[in-house]
Structure 1
Amino acid sequence: MIQTVIFDMDGVIVDTEPVHRYSYYKQFEELNIEVSEELYTSFTGNSTRNTFQKIKDIFNLDQEVEDLIQRKRSIFNDAFDTKKDLELLDGVRNLIVELYQNKVQLILASSASKVTIERVFDRFELHQYFTHKVSGEDFPQSKPHPAIFEHAASLSVAPKEECVVIEDSTNGLIASKAAGILCIGYNSAHSKNQDLSIADHVINHFDELNYVLIKDMDSKLCNY
């Protein structure tokens, strides 16, 4: 029986992707570099640090990675604070509350920085539901490397066979599989060109999930 649900954040709990995209492309313009849609999409699920490490190498930038990170974070924070229409994705709060009320442990495992995670959790009052919040900035390698999910599972009250990840990105699903954890792919309209075919189950809306369906998943078969 599933006892722990590990949530990604961007594109799963809240649609901050347009804010991230705006921030990155504003900075790309400042750096006078042209990042193709294909290249940008390949960064989905990566931490900001790993994204800029790759950008620095590809475009041979002189700036230090840490300076690039801080500039992007500044642009993002300004945009986040002024975006009044930013909301949780449809149905996800109901699912979070239902799982919490049924004593399912909830853990966040996001590539976002700790600062961004706290801003989201403060704005939408999510702190009470999650026992742990794990940030990708604490790991040298981003998704699809499994480190973030391996660590999240180590914080679970149950063995990893009784955990499930909810992800919207190809890199996130690969990371979950590499960690040996069941995964549900969320087909988000906000995360483009993501391959969810390796997920154990795919949903198009959070109304398709509930406590009963999740708790009965096991490590061998998903019978929805």
Structure 2
Amino acid sequence: MIKTVIFDMDGVIVDTEPVHKFAYHQHFKELNIEVSDEMYATFTGNSTRNVFQKLKETFGLKEDVEDLILRKRHLFNEAFDTKPDLELIEGVLHLIQDFHQNGMQLIVASSASNSTINRVFNRFNLNQYFNYKVSGEDFPKSKPHPTIFLHAASLSANTKDECVVIEDSTNGILASNAAGIFCIGYDSANSKHQDLSLADMVIQHFSEINAEKVQKIKEN
């Protein structure tokens, strides 16, 4: 029986991707580098640190990775605070509340920074529903490495077999598989060029699942 749900955040709980994309591309202009759409798509599910490590290697950037991270974070925070149409993904709040009301433990495990996770959770009053918030910036390796999900599962009051991950990215699904945790792939219209084929099940809308269905998911 599933007792713990581990949520990704970007593209699953809230669509901050347009804000991230705006901030990244503003930064790319400042750095005078051209990042293709194909390369940018591979960043989904990666931590900002790993993204800039890759960019530094690819483009031979002279700037320190930590300085690059701080500049991009400043651009993101500036855009986040001024963007009025930032909303939760349709149906996800009802699903979170349903899980919570049915006694399921909720954990967020996101590649986003701790500051970004807290900004989202404070803006949408989500702290009351989640037991733990885990950021990818606290680990040396990003998704698709399984560390973040293994850590999230270790925080759970339940066994790994009683956990499920909800993800929308190729890297996140690979990380969930590598961690040995059942994965629900969310086929988000906001997450482009992602391969959900390795997810254990795929949904197009959060109305397709609820606490009762998820709790019994491994019994089917």
**Quick check: TM above 0.5?**
yes
Counterpart Cα distance in 2 of 1:68 and 1:53: 9
CA-to-aligned-CA distance 1:23-62 (integer Å, 9 cap, x gap): 0011001000000001000111000000000000000000
CA-to-aligned-CA distance 1:3-41 (integer Å, 9 cap, x gap): 000000000000000000000011001000000001000
Structure 1 counterpart of 2:54: 54
Equivalences for residues 147-166 of structure 1 within 5 A: 147-166=147-166
Structure 1-normalised TM-score?
A: 0.97
Cα drift, residue 83 of structure 1: 0.5
Counterpart Cα distance in 1 of 2:155 and 2:5: 11
Cα drift, residue 199 of structure 1: 0.5
Structure 2 counterpart of 1:185: 185
Query: SS of the residue aligned with 1:89?
Result: coil
Counterpart Cα distance in 1 of 2:157 and 2:183: 18
Counterpart Cα distance in 2 of 1:217 and 1:60: 47
Cα drift, residue 217 of structure 1: 1.5
Q: CA RMSD in A?
A: 0.6
Query: SS of the residue aligned with 1:127?
Result: coil
Counterpart Cα distance in 2 of 1:213 and 1:201: 12
Amino-acid identity (%): 67
Structure 2 counterpart of 1:19: 19
CA-to-aligned-CA distance 1:79-111 (integer Å, 9 cap, x gap): 000011100000000000000000000000000
Letter in 1 for 2:214: I
Counterpart Cα distance in 1 of 2:188 and 2:26: 24
Structure 2-normalised TM-score?
A: 0.99
Counterpart Cα distance in 2 of 1:213 and 1:157: 20
Counterpart Cα distance in 2 of 1:205 and 1:17: 18
Q: Does 1:135 align with 2:130?
A: no
Equivalences for residues 94-109 of structure 1 within 5 A: 94-109=94-109
Letter in 1 for 2:203: I
Letter in 1 for 2:145: H
CA-to-aligned-CA distance 1:85-141 (integer Å, 9 cap, x gap): 100000000000000000000000000000000000000000010000000000000
Counterpart Cα distance in 1 of 2:202 and 2:35: 30
CA-to-aligned-CA distance 1:52-73 (integer Å, 9 cap, x gap): 0000000000000000000000
Query: SS of the residue aligned with 1:192?
Result: coil
Q: Which runs of 4+ in 1 moved over 6 A?
A: none
Counterpart Cα distance in 2 of 1:53 and 1:193: 22
Q: Does 1:73 align with 2:73?
A: yes
Counterpart Cα distance in 2 of 1:34 and 1:166: 32
Letter in 2 for 1:190: N
Query: SS of the residue aligned with 1:178?
Result: helix
Gaps of 5+ in 2: none
Q: Does 1:120 align with 2:129?
A: no
Query: SS of the residue aligned with 1:40?
Result: helix
Structure 1 counterpart of 2:87: 87
What is the number of equivalent residue pairs in this alignment? 220
